[in-house]
Amino acid sequence: MLVEVLSSVFNLQIVFFIIVGVFTGICIGALPGLTATMGVALVLPLTFGMDAIPGILLLIGVYVGAIYGGSISAILLRTPGTPAAAATILDGYEFSKRGESGRALGISTVSSFVGGVVSVIALWLISPQLAKLALRFSAPEFFLLAIFGLSIIASISGNSLSKGVLCGALGITLSFIGIDSITGYPRFVFNNINLLSGMSFIPVMIGLFAMSQAFTTIETIFTPDQVTQKISKVWPSKSDWKVIMRQGPISGVIGTIIGIIPGAGAEIGAFVSYGQAKKTSRHPELFGTGIPEGIAAPEAGNNGVTGGALIPMLTMGVPGDAVAAILIGALTVQGLQPGPLLFTEHTTLVYSIFLGMFIANITVLVLGLSSLKLFVKVLSVPKSILTPMIFVLCVVGSYAINTNFFDVGVMLFFGIVGYFMQKADVSVSPAVLGLILGPMAESNFRRALLMSEGSYSIFFSSPIAWIFLLLTIVTLLGPTIGEMARKKRQS
Amino acid sequence: MKKANFVVSGIFAAFALAIIIIAKGYPPSNHGVPGPGMFPIIIAVLILVSALVLFIKTLKMPVTSDTKIDLKSRSILNVYISMGGLILYTALLPTIGFVTSTSVMLSLYIKWFSHRPWWKTILIAVLFTLGIYLLFGTVLNVPMRFGIIF
């Protein structure tokens, strides 16, 4: 198998796609307003005609590159290219103010590489074991796993829990559309033949993540683009290397753990890593003044999320973040079902993804240290031209999946809905979690009851089921108990 | 934000009621195994409860913590116009054809957003459209030839 994996990844075509993916990802990530999720959603249609391995690795390249690329504009323009780079601004821009933007970008590049590699190692070590465990799951366990995944919405929704739940439930509701998989009964189709096979979720995602973001960009379309500054001395100094090698692996592990939690993305990974570095530092007061730790921690943390997010996605079909959700769509288009069986039936693909992700991180390091000046030039691409082009890519991308204009309408509808949801401070990520986990929860719930002939005791019949039940209770009650404890301490 | 929260809770509550009404007409449970309407009704109830919680929380929200959502300024109007233009474009796309309608749409948007000379605008629009047409139509084999023009 090792030979198969090596020969499938180390061929010119695959390495080319990874490099193209990373390059595209860095450009997308560097441009404020274009997120990693948007980038992966826009590139996804290009993979429909490809084989599974190059297609998935192209998308992973975009993902890894975009998460890193966000730091370029965060450091140079004080505007995060992607939300994942928001924490990098705190110290990164201070470097630029001192005229040391090259040094900051160098630290960011190497830290992103370290964090990414740590996450790939974790992906490599944890995923096969988790997949083995998941092979023992049957319908009740998968139902409870989906419920646990959905309960995460409660903890990631922050101040607007009810809005998060509403959005998650909206996603689940969309998954009901089409012929019921158990009884064959058509649900919510309203005599529309296009709805019989269900709501194609890729146009929904392109609408929610790419089109809505393009609409948001129009609000500032007539604001002049910021002037970028020149950079020099990108290669980190000896002292900076020491900081990166000390902080990078720790933040990489933190990012990986956060990535594993369904729904928690790179933004949270970066902020938690930054917080941890500050808390454990001997000089926490220096954070925010432009110190290397302030860049190394969030950058290793956000790239750490990339590998972590793929762990539940590949092993159980549960997305670690929004990009992982799109990757589920990409695998499904290729006729592959993410889950434990992927590890037994498509072993070469799985290990090619691991190896390809490792190469993607090396590409980030090489491109980041050698071509930063080129990526900085990308920042001068006017959004007045880029935004209409994104419109076209959204339209063509949603049309290409089924060569169906109905999907274009769906994409545009959800683009408009997503824009107004952002206006009303409703995060769209729970909708994606609901859209993917909803059918998993429903079908396994009903299958479990079929197995037990209607007895609900089947959901309490195995230790794994109990673990998921307890995890769900802790996730749901955790924030409330924490809040109560905080209030008690204050009073 | 208060007003927006009320609107959000109202829309979702109405949405949930519609789901319940429709799902009630679906076949019932059979030998303890839930029918196709059970899960939609559970989720609709969850939506109703969450919408109610959002409504009550917003009612209790202090006036000082209320923030205004901009839905009428010039920049937002630009978004609405863009949305309208895209709806028109997607409606005409199957009839007119990809290359013509996309070149026109791109030209108009780029001209509006960037005020570049017409010749540059049209050149960018046509080249990008042809690039996408060739990439999807030729390389990825997506049928891009449709419509009465091209």
Q: pLDDT tens across B54-77, in order?
A: 899 888 888 777 777 788 889 999
Check A218 against B43: CB less than 8 A apart. no
Determine the structural domain holding residue B12 and report its residue range: 2-65
Are B12 and B56 in the same domain?
Answer: yes
More confidently predicted of A385 and A377? A385
B42 and B19 inside one domain: yes
* Residues in contact with B130: Cβ distance below 8 Å, sequence separation at least 6, in sequence order: B99
Same structural domain, B28 and B6: yes
pLDDT one-digit tens code per residue, A73-126 = 888 888 788 888 888 988 998 888 888 889 999 999 999 999 999 999 999 999
pTM of this structure: 0.85
Q: CA angle, A298 as apex, A477 and A374 as ends, to 5°?
A: 140
pLDDT tier, A225 (very low <50, low <70, confident <90, very high otherwise): low
End residue of a domain, out of B13, B31, B65: B65
Record the tokens describing residue A372, joined without a space: 């930063």
Across A157-178, average pLDDT: 84
Looking at the domain assignment, is residue B146 inside a domain? no
pLDDT band at A227 (very low <50, low <70, confident <90, very high): low
Residue B144 lies in a domain: no
Which residues of A are less than 8 Å from B135 in CB distance? Answer: 46
Q: Is the pLDDT of residue B145 over 90?
A: no
Whether residue B104 is contained in a domain is answered as: yes
pLDDT at A157 over 70: no
Q: How many CB pairs under 8 A join A and B?
A: 163
DSSP annotation of B33 = B
Tell if the CB–CB gap between B86 and A391 is shorter than 8 Å. Answer: yes
CB contact under 8 A, A396 and B136: yes
> With 70 as the cut, is the pLDDT of residue B149 above it?
yes
Question: What is the structure's pLDDT at A155?
Answer: 63
DSSP code for B30:
B
Query: Cα A380 to chain center, whole Å?
Result: 26
Q: Single out the residue of B58, B146, B150, B148 nearest to residue B99, CA to CA.
A: B150
CA separation for the pair B60, B3 (Å, rounded): 13
Residues of B in contact with A180 (CB under 8 A): 36
> Of B65, B100, B120, which residue constitutes the final position of a domain?
B65
Q: B89 near A399, Cβ under 8 Å? A: no
- In this prediction, residue A156 has a pLDDT band, given cuts at 50, 70 and 90, of low
Question: Which residue of A218, A414, A420, A476 to mutate against B (max B Cβ within 10 Å)?
Answer: A218
Per CB-CB distance under 8 Å, the chain A contacts of B103 are none
Q: How far is the alpha carbon of A112 from chain B, nearest alpha carbon, in Å? A: 32
**Chain-wide mean pLDDT for chain A?**
88
Residue A179, H or E segment: strand A178-179
Q: Which residue of B has its CA nearest to A219?
A: B75
Residue of chain B minimizing CA distance to A185: B36
Highest mean pLDDT among A101-105, B30-34, B108-112: B108-112
Q: Out of A191-195, B2-6, B53-57, which region has the weakest mean confidence (pLDDT)?
A: B2-6
C-alpha dihedral sign at A448, A153, A63, A123: negative
Cα separation, A227 vs A250, in Å, equals 35
Q: No. of H helices and E strands in chain A?
A: 21, 2
Task: Give the list of residues 6+ apart from residue B144 with CB closer than 8 angstroms, or none.
Answer: B98, B133, B136, B137
Interchain CB distance below 8 Å, B83 and A215: yes
pLDDT band at A371 (very low <50, low <70, confident <90, very high): confident
Q: Which residue has the higher pLDDT, A339 or A152?
A: A339
In this prediction, residue A56 carries a pLDDT of 94
Contact (CB, 8 A) for A171 and A7: no
Least confident stretch, A288-302, A347-361, B28-42:
B28-42
Q: What is the DSSP letter of A187?
A: E
Please name every residue paired with A186 in a beta bridge, in sequence order, or none if there are none. A179
- State how far the Cα of A460 lies from the Cα of A144, in Å rounded to an integer: 10
Final residue of a structural domain among B43, B65, B87: B65
At A154 the pLDDT is 65
Judging contacts by C-beta atoms under 8 Å, the chain A residues touching residue B33 are 182, 446, 449-450, 454
C-alpha–C-alpha distance, residues A111 and A249, integer Å: 9
Q: Count up the domains in chain B and report the number.
A: 2
Residue of A nearest to B137 (CA): A400
Residue B150: inside a domain: no
- Cβ neighbours, 10 Å, residue A193: 8
Per residue in A268-282, pLDDT (tens digit) is 889 889 989 988 888
ipTM of this predicted complex?
A: 0.93
Q: How confident is the model at residue B48 (pLDDT cuts 50, 70, 90)?
A: very high
Same domain for B90 and B111, yes or no, is yes
The whole-angstrom separation of Cα B67 and Cα B130 is 45
| Closest Cα in chain A, distance from residue B5 (Å) | 7
- From the CB of residue B131, how many other CB atoms can be counted at a distance below 10 Å? 11
Query: Which single residue is written with the structure tokens 């769900």?
Result: A472
Q: Do B139 and A188 lie within an 8 Å CB cutoff? A: no
CA distance A45 to A411: 13
User: What's the CA gap between A131 and A343, in Å, rounded?
Assistant: 7
Return the residue of A nearest to B120 by Cα.
A385
Are B109 and A387 in contact (CB < 8 Å)?
A: yes
The whole-number average pLDDT for the span B93-118 is: 94
> Can you say how many angstroms the Cα of residue A226 is from the centroid of all Cα atoms in its chain?
28
Q: How many residues does chain A have?
A: 491
**pLDDT level of residue A229 (50, 70, 90 thresholds):** low
Distance from CA of A332 to the nearest CA of B (A): 18
> Domain for residue B31, yes or no?
yes
